[in-house]
Structure 1
Amino acid sequence: HQAGIPTRIAHAHNAKTVVNLKYFFFLYEKMFIKKHCTDMFMCSKPAGEWLFGKQAVQDGKVKYINNSIETDRFKYNEQTRRDMREKLGVGDKIVIGHVGRFAQPKNHTFILDVFNEIHRMNKNTVLVLCGEGKLEDDIKAKTKALGLENDVIFTGVMDTSVLYQALDLF
């Protein structure tokens, strides 16, 4: 507002962040965001409460914006499912999938731990991880350490509307 900018928008994308040096900078920055923004938006209630506070959300000062998705792209198609499962080489296995960048908030370490337990109980399972990121090599190393390298598929970035067709559990 000191620069003469009449509209200053802030948008809350997630509910928490990793506690590191950036986190403390963000806590400091958060004070200024609430004080100086003219319009507040959130993609979820927890995200809005984390950035702007519960009271601002309850008072209706924070506007909710849905993440828009073209739903027609995700309609079930049996042929697409067969083709994608063949491409992944999963046959009739139970396919569990996750889509997200390889970063701490997505918690791939926990996903691998859970899948490891599921796979111990049912060997007819496979985990598909779609995405890229700075922790990808760490997750691949953990996959190998758990002995799951033949049961976890890393797809990289791809068209998720096609990938979802192949999944049994997401």
Structure 2
Amino acid sequence: MPQCTSCGSSDFTQYGPYAGRIVAGGEVPDLKDQIIARKCSACEYLQLEKQLTSGVRVATAHIVKEGRAEDVQRIIVRFLSDEPDQNALIKEFYIWLTQVFVEDLLRLKESAEAHDFLQAAILVAGSEYRKAHQVPKYGGVDCREEFGGCRIVSRPETYNYPIKPDV
């Protein structure tokens, strides 16, 4: 039985495929029927989850604005295993996403919302998993349009997101 990665409850009000938004040119590729959405009835957290391989999946656990940066969200995802134990935590992985990066990744015509950041985090975590065919050994990634992708963050607990000084 799946558990909420935010509060641990197993009581969900909604459960089903999450296909993302319809965008110009059709649906975002590689999403339909692969990402599962659950809304926890206890804490109202929208959790997105994707099966990566048999026995390994990734699920969103937490989202928060990054300090003074209005357009940056920090998302924690969890790599989970169902073998040998159900919902066994393999690793927590941190992802920093800018609004422009998310809008470009998902090809959105309007401003990205919280659920768009969650969807992008699942895609980024899946991409990092596929690069090495295993859970990443590093702690997270910082994804920005000026990087043209994502940069590795070795120690996310001590990482300070660089904020441009006020001009």
Q: TM-score scaled by structure 2?
A: 0.23
Structure having the higher strand fraction is 2
When Rg is computed on C-alpha atoms for both structures, the one with the higher figure is 1
